[in-house]
Structure 1
Amino acid sequence: MASLVSEILMSAGQLEKRDLQTELNKVKSKIDDAKFQVSKFVEQHYQDFDPLLVHSRELAETSSKLSEEVQQLVEKAETELKFQLDSSTNEMNSIGSQINAAKLQVQLLERVSQLHTILEKLKKMSVEDIIPYAEAIAEAESILNDAEDHIDTELDIWRSVKFEIEKNKDNLLKHLEDSWNTEIQWTKKDALVQLKLNADKLKDVFQGLAIIGQLDRPLCEWSSRLYDEILIPLTKADTVIQFEDHLELIEGQRSITELVELERAVGNISLTFQHLNKHLDFKLNDVLVLQLIGKQVADDFVKLFVKTCLKSTLPASSSLLSSPEYRASLEMVVRLEEEMVEIGFLTEKIIEEFAVNVDLFFADKQCLESLSRARQLMCLDLHDTICLKDNVEQTMVEEEERNSAETAHLWKMLSEGGMEIKWSPFRFPPCQISRSTQDLIEMLTNLVQEAGSSSATERSSARLLFTVRSICELYVSVVPEFHRDALNKLPFHAAVAHNNGMYLAHSILTLGTGHLIKLVQQNGVPLMDLVGKFRQLAAHIFLEHMKSQRDQLLAILKEAGFNRLENESRLPSSVEKAGRQVLHQLRNLQKIWQPVLPNEVYLRAIGTLSNSVLEELLLRITTMEDIPAAAALQLTDQCQSFINTLPLLFGPFDAEDTEDKKEMLALVMQHVHLWSRFEELKHLLGAGLRDIEGRWSSGKGPLAVHFAADEVKQMIRALFQNTDHRAATLSRIK
């Protein structure tokens, strides 16, 4: 019984399978027939351009019926597949693949039919009907794009239909481009710009381009032109605009610097955006057109407006930031921004941030202008100088401030740092400094006073003080590099640069005194360490130049020919010439440095160089092994010329024999440490053995103070011949 049932079921299953295969073959035959007819129809209609259309509606109905039959087969096959899955998997998979292929072919036929319907609709429409025409094109493109992801689109039928759609789209695009140029008319001639918008048809043009996805490029180009030819000129002080049925603008050239000019520019900008909003007040995909334009150029315009209109009209003093006139101008700017946000050009309030943080923008402007101006001053020639004179009245006032409790710790710091101050720290000795340095110090003073004013906020004060520090650090880097050649070669420039650095250090030390200390403590901006940097810079510049001068003087003496005395009885003329040249160079340095340097600095500088010259002369003369009598007299005269001339370096340049000779000699003794030794050498060269022995005085005389016994013996051997008298004298020199 069980076997009989099984046989019946198997027979039924095979029968169902044979029926299914038979029906599938019939459907495939019908599909092939439909494909042939559709292909033939499309070929006639789109490839051969046969105007006869006979079977279009029948084909659509056939496609629909085929779709229903295929769906029924799918459902029947799925049932059969589940029932016979274990026994006939391979066979049913094959049938399933054939069914899927049939489904894809039917889908292709359906899409071709849909596209044909759209093409027929487009034939009945004109491109003048922009919106429905664009919507039909968009629908066709959507079908094409969706089908290309799933269906073999390399068929001739599909390419023909696609070509026809693209041809219609090109026709629409050409019409839209022509309409765009008609409805938006630009005219530019020199400084005159005209813009005419036709609001009636402009909306359809924008929407048509948006529907077919072709708006971005023309809108971007138009926005850029609007920015370049309309918005940028609106930020000029003398731009003129007028409105009739179109916008007409005459571009100006002057930058905005006054509040009156800012008010005029804000009014022009407001009127321009009202005009644009009047003609472009519609949406595309729920987004305002001006908002789309704003995405392209709003950020650039806001930055330009802030830079050329707002920053350029910042007042010169922070106290004016709260003046009624300036506050009114800021309120006017904020209202303009609100208008642009309302019409969609701006999506957020950016300009309002300027009004809120105007103190920082003011500080930034001052900082940038100060840094730029400071660098210009640093690069000016150093030779344009002014004289600093001692101001007794100012010193008394500053001394009183020094004694205040607020600044007492400053002077305590100086004393603890080991600084020996021979005069009031508030006084600077008379000298010459560059005019540019004086201007720089005035700038620094103004910045500090601005930072300490009651109207300055803590944030702006900190920025201003950091700018003071930045300018000082810039000076230390720029000046020695920019003026390198002049500082190395020209003694005047080196002296002035020394004074400039020292005066800057002095100015930082005394700048603002008490209230500067408060500002530094509040804002954490260190300034006092700059004092040491300026002093080091000044000292380094002048010392390097002094080394150069010393090397020149010593080179003259080394090449004078002292060593030729061993072969000649008289002093070579080159020695006398070298002596005159050295003295001339020292006198020239006196002429240059004495009016420029502080007196104490000059005395130390000229004393150091004089000492180096005497040291070289002493070395050359005391190391000679043989000095003929005639040469000794010449050397004595040479030494006397130095003794007569060097004291003049320590008095007024144009003075000759004056009553101040004792004072000059005292200064020579103070600053030229080898002066007494050199005088003794002169005596030694012109003295006899008895005089030498008398000045030695058993090691207690003036000669013994400046020369060792061996040095005296060496000179005696060089000056005198080998006699019993010389031998006796040498024996007593010990």
Structure 2
Amino acid sequence: MASFVAEVLSSAGQMEREEINEKLSMLGRRMEELKMEIHSATSGASATFTTFEPSFDVTTTLADKVKAISEEMQELSEKIDTDIKGQLNISTGEFQSLSRQLEQVTMVMSVLDKLSKAQQLMENIATATSNGKYSEASSSLLMLMEAFKKPTCERQEEVKILVAVRIQTEVLKQKLIQDLSDTWKETVSWTCLDAPSVRSEKRDPTAPEEEAKQWELKLPKSDSSSEQQALKEMVTALEALGQLDGRIQTLGRQLVQNVFSLALRWPKVAVKETPLSQGKKVLIKAESERKQPNCVDVFSIIGNILDLLNDSLLHVEVEWRGGGEGHTERVPLMSLLGDQIAEKVLDGVVKECLSHSIPSTNKELESFHEVVAVTQKFQDKLVSLGFVSNSSRTLLDYVQNVNVLFANKKCQDILERARSLMTTDIHDTVQISSDASPGELPPLDKSGNPSKEKQRKIDAASDPLLSNATFRMPTCRISVCVQELLDLAYLTLNEASTSSPQCAVQMFYAVRNIFELFCSVFPTYHSHSLANFPQLTALHHNNCMYLAHHLLTLGHQFKHSLPADVSSTFVDLIPGVRGLGTSSFLDQMNTQKGILEQYLQGADGFTAVDEEANYASAERSLKQSLHQLTHLQKVWQDVLPSSVYRKAIGSLFNSLITQVMDSITSLEDISSEAARKLFMLLKLVDKKGAVLFLTDKDDSESKSASSKAKVDLHRHVPKYAKFTEIQMVLNGSLQEIADRWAEGMGPLAAEFPPNELKQLIRALFQNTDRRAGVLAKMK
């Protein structure tokens, strides 16, 4: 009985398998027929994707057939799952074969189903694009791209039709982007009406490029519903395809370069709107001559342009992915434009407009509230348009910080003025008189009366216990620019004494910066003049001494009018300023000494001057040296303080006679004729020495003037006494020399060491017993 039941079941399973095999065979044949029909339907004379062209009616029928076969396959699959799997132990091999056939048929069906949907989406894209429904076209394109994002089957890159569909999808995407780009250009377009290429063909190619001043902007009509609808379609499609951000960036760049730059650099910019059959055009033209515009005009022009753009284009809202991943919100295009260029526009307004409106005087500061009000109104307008967010404080923070800005601008103007004075010529001079009152400084108010601090200094200077020279600058000449520089410092400190504490502090340090800047800029800018022109070196020396003279008391004069926390002193700057003038003048002195030494090289050590040629060379060298000293007398005597001049010319003359004496005392043999000639040369130098200390007002024939010059000569030329003694030795006898030696107690012994005098005597006199006796007394 059991064997009979097993046989019956086996027969039933065999019949079911045969029935399933028959149905699978039938489905396979129908699949092949369906593939042929799809091939026929998608092929034609001109291929849409590579070699295939779809037909809507045929594909609809094919889709129905695909659906019917899919349902039959589903039923067959369920039957296999319910009826056949129970017999796996009996027929595992046949079941695996049936499963593989089912997978293959399912894969083919999946490909056919995807191709059917792709054909329908492509038809939708073409229809929507032709009707101007770009948002629908972009939606269908995204669905088509999503459908082919995941692989449909194994080795799908070998399936030609799938490769062709992907290529056609990319072609459709690029074509849609190009259509949207063309539509955008027709909707928003820029035209330069005075481009350099058309303004003048004769323009010098080496000249700088002129800025375009006329632009024409085409926009859609704001009151046309059809154009507004088309605009929304275009913007939605651009955003969906990721192209909107690039268009907004381009629009923003053109606005900044073509429109806002004109508003920030030209005082008057006209904006004229003209309606067209399709859209409207806006003419933007810079008028009048270029100069700094005021804030009201700039804000008005920028606001008008943004209003026009907002009414025609930028009011359109789009879904924008802004918050986090997957988060979207509807924002107007104006906000997107603001994200791109708002920071640049606001920075331009601050640098090109508001910075020039910052007051530079206390009177202008009082009326600055008008600028603050206009800026607040402009800020509110930008926020209402959505160009900037409520949290944007760039403009308001700038104008509301006016006290700091005022101080900064004031200090900047002061330093710019100071630098300008430092880089002007220093040849223009003015005389500083020692007769001026010690407290006489540049007037600090309209009345010109000295302050209480100054009056105190005047009274102190009149105290009989103090010298009359107290707080006095010796008579000399200084550069006009330096006097103006010091006036600037006084006026700045006077204004600081009436300003707010914060401003006063900044202005005080601006004055300190003036003198620090002087130490850096002045010697660097005038380095060539200071090194090559002795007169300018002397002026620079006086300039530094003059500034240092005032720095001694400058801070104390304003001590009680400046904030208490300010250490109002400039004394620490004095060593640097003085050292600047001193080092420059000492360098010039060394240069002049080198020139004198170079001239004396032509004398060839004063050897053999008894020969006419050698004497002429020695005389020429001395005359050149004396001429150089005379030149210095002319350029220095009227410039330097008298005491400084006498010390300087005395040092140079001392250097000259020292070199001459060293050359003579080193000679080993001096004939009587050579001694006579040397005496004549020294007399020439001696005669010129006293003249160097005479002033222009002195009469050279006057005995008192000559006596005073002789006194200055002995005081400021340390070697002059020795110079007179060597003249006596050259022109005197052995007895006269012995008498002036006076057993080491005479004037000759005070100037000459024994060995040096012995050497000179041996060179001048022959070796006799008398000479030996004189030399023996010199110990």
Q: Normalising to structure 2: TM-score of the pair?
A: 0.78
> Structure 1 residues 566, 242: closer, same or farther in 2, change over 3 A?
closer
- Alpha-carbon shift at residue 551 of structure 1 (Å): 0.7
Which secondary structure state, in structure 2, belongs to the residue aligned with residue 624 of structure 1?
A: coil
Report the aligned-residue RMSD: 4.6
Change (3 A) 1:563 1:185: closer
Aligned to 2:426: 382
Map residues 274-353 of structure 1 onto 2, 5 A cutoff: 274-280=307-313, 281-285=315-319, 286-317=330-361, 319-320=362-363, 322-323=365-366, 325-347=367-389, 348-353=392-397
Show CA shifts across 1:433-475 (max 9, x none): 33333344444445555555423526x844x555555554444
Q: Does 1:704 align with 2:749?
A: yes
Alignment-derived partner of residue 5 in structure 1: none
In the alignment, the residues of structure 1 paired with residue 677 and residue 373 of structure 2 have an alpha-carbon distance, to the nearest angstrom, of: 90
The residue type paired with residue 455 of structure 1 is S
Q: CA deviation at 1:626?
A: 1.9
Q: 1:438 aligns with which of 483, 486, 494?
A: 483
- Residue of structure 2 equivalent to 1:56: 59
Contact map agreement 1:509 1:528 (CA 8 A) in 2: yes
Name the CA distance, whole Å, in 1 between partners of 2:694 and 2:647. 13
- Compute the displacement of 1:266 (Å): 2.4
Instruction: Give the CA deviation at 1:126.
Output: 5.5
Partner amino acid, structure 2, of 1:225: Q
1:603-653 Cα offsets, whole Å, 9 max, x none, are 221111111112111211122222222222222232223222212222314
Match status 1:115 vs 2:118:
yes
User: Matched residues in 2 for 1:594 and 1:26: separation?
Assistant: 129
**1:223-261: CA deviations, max 9, x gaps?**
222222221212221323345655433214656657xx3
Tell me the distance in 1 between the aligned counterparts of 2:55 and 2:301: 63
Which letter maps to 1:611? N
Aligned letter for 1:582? S
Structure 1 stretches of 5 or more lacking a match? 1-8, 409-420
Equivalent residue, structure 2, for 1:248: 283
Pairs within 5 Å for 1:14-29? none
Deviations 1:497-546 (A, max 9, x none): 22333334444444443546996984689965433222222222211111
- 1:232 — aligned with what? 261
Match of 1:428 in 2: 473
Cα distance change on mapping 1:123 and 1:703 into 2, 3 Å? closer
Partners of 2:500 and 2:586 lie apart in 1 by 45
- Counterparts of 1:150 and 1:712 in 2: how far apart (Å)? 118
Q: Please say if residues 543 and 581 of structure 2, whose CA atoms lie closer than 8 Å, have aligned partners that are also in contact.
A: yes
Q: Which residue of 2 aligns with 1:195?
A: 217
1:647-686 alignment to 2 at 5 Å? 647-653=690-696, 655=698, 656-658=700-702, 659-686=704-731
Q: State how far apart, in whole Å, the 2-side matches of 1:99 and 1:451 are.
A: 97
The code of the aligned residue for 2:120 comes to T
- The residue number in structure 2 matching 1:576 is 619
Match of 1:395, SS state, is: coil
1:554-596 C-alpha deviation (Å, 9 max, x unpaired): 1212321335228859962211222222111101101001112
Equivalent of residue 631 in structure 2, options 588, 592, 607: 588
Q: How much has 1:52 moved relative to structure 2?
A: 4.9
Aligned with 2:682 (options 639, 654, 662): 639
**Equivalent residues of 2:606, 2:618 under 8 A apart:** no
Return closer, same or farther for 1:447/1:74 CA change in 2, 3 Å cut-off: farther
- Distance change >3 Å, CA 41–CA 565, structure 1 → 2: same
Q: Which has the higher contact order (CA 8 A, sep 6+)?
A: 1
User: Matches of 2:714 and 2:90 in 1, distance apart?
Assistant: 129
Secondary structure of the structure 2 residue equivalent to 1:625: coil
The letter of the residue matching 2:426 is L
Please give the per-residue CA displacement for 1:640-691, whole angstroms capped at 9, x wherever unaligned: 2322221222231464233222322222222211111212222222222222
SS in 2 for 1:651: coil
Gaps of 5+ in 2: 1-8, 195-212, 276-280, 320-329, 442-449, 461-466
CA–CA distance in 2 between the matches of 1:562 and 1:73? 132
Aligned to 1:218: 247
1:430 is aligned with what amino acid? T
Aligned position for 1:411: none
Other-structure match for 2:768 = 723
Question: 1:679 and 1:546 mapped to 2: Cα distance?
Answer: 25
1:140 aligns with 2:183: no
Q: Secondary structure at the match of 2:478?
A: strand
In structure 1, give the amino acid aligned to 2:725. E
Q: Normalization by structure 1: what TM-score?
A: 0.82
Structure 1 contact 550–612 (Cα < 8 Å) conserved: yes
Q: Residue type matched to 1:338 in 2?
A: D
Instruction: Please state how far the C-alpha of 1:394 moved relative to its aligned partner.
Output: 5.0
8 Å contact kept, 1:185–1:196: yes
Structure number with the higher helix fraction is 1
Assess, with a 3 A threshold, how the Cα gap between structure 1 residues 33 and 376 changes in structure 2: closer, same or farther.
farther
1:184 is matched with which residue? Answer: 188
Moved more, 599-608 or 474-483: 474-483
Alignment-mate amino acid for residue 253 of structure 2: S
Alignment of 1:150-189 (within 5 A): 150-151=151-152, 152=156, 155-162=159-166, 164-165=168-169, 169=173, 172-173=176-177, 175-184=179-188, 186-189=190-193
Cα deviation for residue 193 of structure 1 reads 3.1
Q: Percent identity?
A: 29
Distance in structure 2 (CA, Å) of the matches to 1:134 and 1:329:
46
How far did residue 128 of structure 1 move?
4.0
